Chain A
Amino acid sequence: MKKKYNFKGGIQCISIKKDPREYFLNYLPDPEKFFIYIKYSHFKKNRLRVKVGQEVLCGQPLTFGDDLIVPVHSPTSGWIKNIYFNPKSSDKNQEKIKIVILSNHLNKWIRLKTIKNYKTYTPQSLIKIIYQSGIVGLGGAQFPSSKKLTLSINKVHTLIVNGIESEPCMTADYCLMQNYINEILIGCKIVAWISKVKDILIVIQEDKTELILKIQKIIENKQLFKLCIIRKKYPGGSSKILIKSLTGKEIPYGKHSIDMGYLVFNVATIYAIKRSIINGEPLIKRIVTLYNKDKNILSKNFWVKIGTPIHFFLNYLKIDSNLNTLIYSGGVFMRYLIVNLNYSIQKNMNCIYVKKNKKNKKKIEYPCINCGYCVHACPVNLLPQEMFLYCKNSDNQKLKQLNILDCIECTVCEKVCPSNIPLVKYFRIGKKIQKNIDIENDRKKLFSSLFRKREKRLLIEKKIFYSKDQISNIKKLDIFSRTQEKEENNSINQKIIEKSLRKEMLKEAIKRAKLKR
Chain B
Amino acid sequence: MNILYISNAYDVRKIMILVILACIPGLCTEIYFFGYGVLIQMLLFIIISLLFELIILKIRRKNIKNSLFDCSSVLTAVLLGLSIPFVLPWWMIIFGCFFSIVISKYLYGGLGQNIFNPAMIAYVVLLISFPVHMSSWNEKNSSLSFYKDIKNSINLILFHQKKYDFKEKIYPDSFTEATPLDDFKTKSHFNYDLSQEELLIKKKTKNVSIAWKYINISFLIGGLFLLYKNIICWRIPLSFLSSLFFFSSTTYFYSQNIFCSPLFHLFSGGTMICAFFIATDPVTTSSTKIGKIFFGSIMGFLVWIIRNYSDYPDGIGFSVLFANMIVPLMDAYLKTSGYGRKNS
Which A residues contact B (CB, under 8 angstroms)? 11-14, 16, 168, 240, 244, 249-255, 332, 364, 366-373, 375-376, 380-383, 385-386, 401-403, 406, 408, 414-420
Contacts and interface: CB of A to CB of B under 8 A. Distances in A.
15 contacts: A13-B5, A14-B4, A249-B343, A367-B111, A370-B285, A371-B15, A375-B288, A375-B336, A381-B338, A382-B338, A382-B339, A383-B288, A418-B11, A418-B15, A420-B2
Given A366-B66, A369-B112, A418-B15, A252 B344 contact: yes
B339 A250 contact: yes
Given A382-B336, A386-B287, A417-B2, 10 more contacts: A251-B340, A366-B66, A367-B111, A368-B112, A375-B336, A376-B233, A402-B338, A406-B341, A418-B14, A418-B15
B110 interface: yes
A253 to B, nearest CB: 5
Nearest to B233: A372
B336 A381 contact: yes
Given A13-B5, A366-B111, A406 B287 contact: no
A410 to B, nearest CB: 12
A75 B285 CA distance: 58
Given A366-B66, A383-B336, A420-B2, A250 B343 contact: yes
7 smallest CB-CB distances across A and B, nearest first, come from A403-B338, A406-B338, A380-B339, A371-B282, A367-B112, A250-B340, A252-B344
B219 to A, nearest CB: 21
Contacts of B4: 14
Contacts of B342: 250
B70 interface: yes
B235 to A, nearest CB: 10
A372 B3 contact: no
Given A168-B5, A383-B335, A418-B14, A372 B287 contact: yes
Contact of A370 (B3, B112, B339, B340): B112
Contacts of B7: 11-14
A516 to B, nearest CB: 64
B287 A383 contact: yes
Contacts, number: 118
Contacts of A250: 339-340, 342-343
B335 A401 contact: yes
A368 to B, nearest CB: 5
B158 interface: no
A403 to B, nearest CB: 3
A415 B2 CA distance: 6
Given A252-B344, A367-B113, A371-B15, A403 B337 contact: yes
A375 B112 CA distance: 16
Interface string B321-344: 000000000010001111111111
B10 A386 contact: no
B289 interface: yes
A417 B112 CA distance: 14
A249 B343 CA distance: 9
B12 interface: yes
Contacts of B72: 369
A359 to B, nearest CB: 17
A449 B339 CA distance: 32
A419 B10 CA distance: 9
A420 B66 CA distance: 13
Nearest to B343: A252
Contacts of B14: 418
In this complex, the member of A364, A386, A420 whose beta carbon has the largest number of chain B beta carbons within 10 angstroms is A364
A366 B338 contact: no
B150 interface: no
Nearest to A407: B338
Contacts of B341: 253, 403, 406
